[in-house]
Amino acid sequence: MVTVLTAGHVNWDVTLRVDNFPEPDGEAAIRLQRQSGGGSAANVATALAGLEVDTGLIGSIGDDDNGLLARRELEATGVSLDGLRIVEDADTAVKYILVDDAGEVAVLGNDGVNEAVRPDDIVPERIERATHIHLTSQRPETASRLARLASESGATVSVDPGRRLASRDYSDTIELADIIFLNDREVEAILEETYSVSEYSDRILAIKYGGDGAEVHTPTGSVHHPGFDIDPVDTTGAGDAFAAGFIATYLQTDDIERVLEFANACGALAASTEGARSAPTSSSVDALLAAQHEQ
């Protein structure tokens, strides 16, 4: 039985490590090039599988070579792909990710068919069998239907709308969410709208601050964790690893301090390794936490 379903983008990533982000009419040197699967929904799914959580994925890819590579990589992690739609004669979304020497990230890309899943494509029985649904960037109407089906079946819902929050209306989905993941820039985008953080006092709001850790606001209080002292190599996918760690631990305990510490450890380990699919295992997280507690 699938415990967690993730839904949203499935991409193929081309990562270019550069000496700097070029200015207009400028040039940067490529130090390293690598390719791997990407997309927030797929990243969280593989991270959850690495944390020994039974996980399934809802998303879409093309039937091209990049789609085949993405599918094979996901299958190798043990993620259930029953909800993955393969679109004939279509291109899988490709993202070109620039990573500078400080580990900062910039993204270029084409969307391909990573949003081919529409509300009518959703199989309700698949949602009803899950314990938790995690929603990432996708069509707002698709996310809303997934959230509503999950809520009606008694599953908990988390949402991480990502960088498109400012240009898309995810209000229906956010209203149904039990857990909302945002980074500091996305919180600012929410505050610029009609929302305020206080409006989410009846659910869990996790705000990520990158190298400065994260804080969680709950109906019973707030918790802050300063993060871990690491040398960032590539922050791509660190937020997805954080979400996976948070969800995996949240499903096991109501100790929010433990949940946040574990999530931060997952994000830190991901940021200290190349690639969006560098999500940690349970053993590597436990080792980092044990070392931290010994200090």
Residues annotated as catalytic are: 240
Stretch (H or E) spanning 150: helix 140-153
Residue pointed to by tokens 């899950």:
130
Phi and psi dihedrals of 36, rounded to 5? -165, 175
Using alpha carbons, select from 281, 290, 285, 43 the residue that is nearest to residue 162: 43
Give Cα separations from 166 to 157, 169, 295 (angstroms).
21, 8, 41
57 torsion bin: left (phi>0), alpha (psi -120 to 50), beta (else): beta
Q: Cα(87)–Cα(84) distance, rounded to whole angstroms?
A: 10
Give the start-end residues of each E strand in 78-193. Answer: 80-87, 94-99, 105-110, 132-136, 156-160, 179-183
The answer to whether 140 touches 146, Cβ cutoff 8 Å, is: no
